[in-house]
Structure 1
Amino acid sequence: MVTLDMIRKDMATFLEKDKEIHFIEVRADTLDEALADAAVQFDTRIANLEYEVVERGFDGFLGLAKKPWCLKIYQNPELVKKVVVGKNGEVIDSEEEEGIDRITSRDGAFYIRHFGTEIMLKVDLPIGEGKPALADSVIEELNRPDTKKFDADKIRSLVESGTNGEYVPVGDYNHEPSADAIFVIDISSDELKATATINPPALGGADVSVDQIKRALTQQGVVAGISDEKIQALVDNPSYNEPVVVAEAVLPVDGKDAYITYNFETDRSKIRAKQAANGQVDFKELNLIQNVVEGQPLAQKILAEHGKSGKTLYGRYLEAKNGRDIPLPIGKNVKVDKDGRTILAACNGQVLLINDKICVEPIMEVDGVNIKTGNITFLGTVIVKGAVEDGFNVKASGNIEVSGTVGKCTLESDGDIIVSSGIIGRDEGKIVCGGSLWAKFIQNTTVRVEENIIVTDSIMNSEVSAQKKIILNGKRAQITGGNVFATECVIAKNIGSEGGGTETVISVGFDPRAKKRLEELLEMQNNNIKTLDELELNIATLENMKKVRKSLPKEKEESLYKLNEQKNEIIAENAQYNDEIENIQARLRQLKNIGKVYVSGTVYSGVKIFVRDEKDEVRADTKNLIFFYENGFVRRGKYEQPNLDDIKGPEGYS
């Protein structure tokens, strides 16, 4: 129930808040101009202001009958900036308080001033470890010839409790008006600064008060920039015969220019080699490439700021400059996000700043891969105009094209790999390719390719596998030594060597990964079937119990529900396994017919040919034949030209 006392308390609270509200009346052509003017006068943000419309403005017609807006503008008392004092006694807004060190200790102080006919006392209490002011010191200072009387008990009380920043009367003195302090207000010609120069009072004369200085400023037409804090500081600690600033114009603040923040290193000189955990620097990992993926934010424009206008002491506007806008540095293969300020990568590649434009290059070109470049890892295509030297690696999400030779190193590509010269791996080189591989020759290298391998010269002493075809189509077109595997077929002119010095093994007609996956799927399916049998037995037991009892305890009912859920999950999982098993088996059945080895020249003795899992070891040199699978054996047939219509060269090559 709302009582009269409750209403009184609420009204008292509202009254206290209303006392904190100071308003000004502003006239301007627009609402925005009026609020901007008030923000300058209150020295606050527009967001902290509230207003009432006294007279509504009118834009007029063709410039006629134009009427300004008249607003009563005031600060929200809950948002009025509180004041704190810095280390050196400076006044700091609470908004800036977080950036300063708080005062932990300060001695107490007292100020004695003679205003009118009264002796006034102001006492500041100590802070922290500071020492308090002494009442005896105050009394001693008051014992002067012009003092009539003072209240010692009141002085002691005030020294103990403080005066909350106010001057409090504590006695009377013999006032001589002719001995009063005299002050002069000077205003600079540019209306930016007002100073007060005070001549000290003689014995019996009054000091200059805050109200006197403010009244003098107002009488001279000063309407903006009056500093209560500076005037109060001058009254508390007057500097006689020296001009002291008591009012300053609100200077305009130019807006900051727009600028770009980059999410990558634009200064390549700052890119450093990678440091290992033991502190050693790996000069093969130079980190020169800054890879980005499609849609990745590369940079953002920070918008230009509007300037904050100022005001002279006489209220004249001081215009501020707005910050300059700049265009977005849009280069190749980048786009602008929906916010109109963020630059995104339009494709995978390396981000570069070229002629002050942000670009993403999906193709990287280098003269060679060596100590100058370090290892290369790139989200795109890498073109090497020279050689990839021993010990250096190239990894690319696109193609890798090498004009020179590839040494004892690793090439990994999600696309094709094209090596115009040969690959000399020295038993440590490794090639991994998600597409097809083209090379002049391959020596002592491990090669794993997802599609085709096309070689114009020879494959020697290498471990080579392709998920589709291996084709040697040059004048020599010879496979000598090592293990060569292709899922579909191997095509060469000569296989093995005279005298059979090195073992040469050719395998076709099966997919080892598919076969391994099939075995895994069959094992998982069998395990699921066993689990399913156990589940069905437990479900049947609980359902029979439910039929007999007509209901189950809560725990048993939850258990039955979970068992049925698990059963449905396993059935769905087995259905997925069945689909994958059928696809793999269809693939393997297809390979029965296409697993072949074509030899247009000579197969030397000692060569081992595997078609599917069956072996044919060549006992004597044989020419012009095909090896294929039939009725559980490896058969030999007369050579015929294979169909290579599905083999296409890499893009840009013939």
Structure 2
Amino acid sequence: MNDDKPAGPELQLTLDDATRSLRASLVPDAQVPRIDPFWVRDRLADAGFSEMKVRTDGVRSLLAHYNAGKAVSDLEIADCVDAALQVLVSPDALEARLTIAPPQGGRAATKAEVLEQLSLKGIHEGVLVDEINRAIADGQARELVIARGREAIAGDDGVLECLLPEIRARVPNVRACGRTDYRDLGEIQVVCAGDALMRRHPPTPGTPGVDVLGKPIAPRAGKDTRFASNLTGVRSADDDPDLLVAAIDGQPLQVRGGMMVEPVFTVDTVNMATGNIRYDGAVRVRGDVKAGMSIHASGDIEIGGVVEPATLESGGSIVVKSGVLGGIGQKDSNSHCIRCTGSFSAIYAQQARIEAGDSIFIDDLAMKCELTAANHIRLGLNRRGQVIGGLLRATLSIHARTLGAPNRIRTELEIGTDPALAGALQASTQARDSKESELLEMGKLLSFSDRYPDRIAPAVRLRAEQTAAALSADIEALRGEEVQLRQRLSLAQHARVNAERAIHDGVVVRMAESSLRIHGERGPTTVRLADQNLAVFALEDDSHLDDER
């Protein structure tokens, strides 16, 4: 018995140097009537031609002829293919990428060829030689970065740096998270004429870049920021126009575009002897404000003692170091009110009507009061922090340690509604549209001046440029205002009532059309919207509030 297999047909392979193709000749063998592609592949490997690029049609013809019993002579079945390389430059000319298709029986790519391609394309900046060497060693690459330019670095915008350690800002204080920033509003800070208030840092031009072709890339210069033109009580330093100093003694207040100083009027007590006070600036009262008196101030008001049933109106914030005794329930209760565009702070309030354009902070007790705040109402920092009776309204949150009392006194809380916000947003949008229309007209005038410089007087062009710059600054400020207003409207949807310790029976919470009455006494509690209705939940962990304060 003979176990030897037939040797099979002999495939003769010849490499044509001229055409760099592999030719095959094959005579049919009766002992092996059929062959397949795997047989051909093995013969090529045995002969050392496995790296060549096989011609599929040639191999198919070889198999068809042999399997039909026909001889094959000088049939091209494979080719020698050299490595192919391509260098592409990115659209911004900051990168050059290399792709190398590996050879198939031909020559491998060389470093010299890559460098030649770079030279032909004019690439000579930021060439990464190590990456080229790695690609050549690997014999292949796919969009490998082999040259990288330097991007231009934009300049820093100009900024206004406050030089005072603590300064009160006359803007609503709304945190992105919607939480209350409970802080002691402090005393009225006073500066003297000549004190440094704020420094203007001009914008930087930026750092130029360069692309892989060696062309420079101009950076974007930072936006300039200048002191507003309507600041009062301040001036530029004589030897430094970028330094803002106090022109008078008074209270410094940070505003958009800089800082202003308001004069401070100080009095021991407001009573029948002093008369009512109406002052364009800040007012400081060391003692009490007696019943029936009034204070109207464009700036902050600070009261060192007690406010009896009286009227306080402030264009800034109001700080009462002691408490407020209002007149709700009395015959002339409507004639007494406390209003401020900023925040209000006091130790306690009883039967008082208080309205704040920002937030209301009462440390101890609010009893039978009407409190209205555009942002937050918060009770309790170092003392009881309890609300008993009355009506409290706040757009974003009402937060107290205890809400209501065990005797079920009716205490009404309203959150999440402030029609003034929507109106302010509409007014800001309309004002921006108007200024954008004016800016468009100024742009047309300046474009006409560019085309026909002899038809527009230089003085007219200068005024147009100044007007356009002022309009652009106003438009940017209005856009920022609109962003803040939209943020506040969004936060209003997440408004809530928090009771750190307890909320009693008799407390009613309202939000738009939804109303919820608390039944029974509850411990730490949050009331907020859930599925379009108010619902009661366990108080969320507010342990990190101390960090925010």
Q: TM-score, normalised by structure 1?
A: 0.34
Could you say which structure has the greater relative contact order, defined with CA pairs below 8 angstroms and 6 or more residues apart? 2
- Length-normalised TM-score, structure 2: 0.41
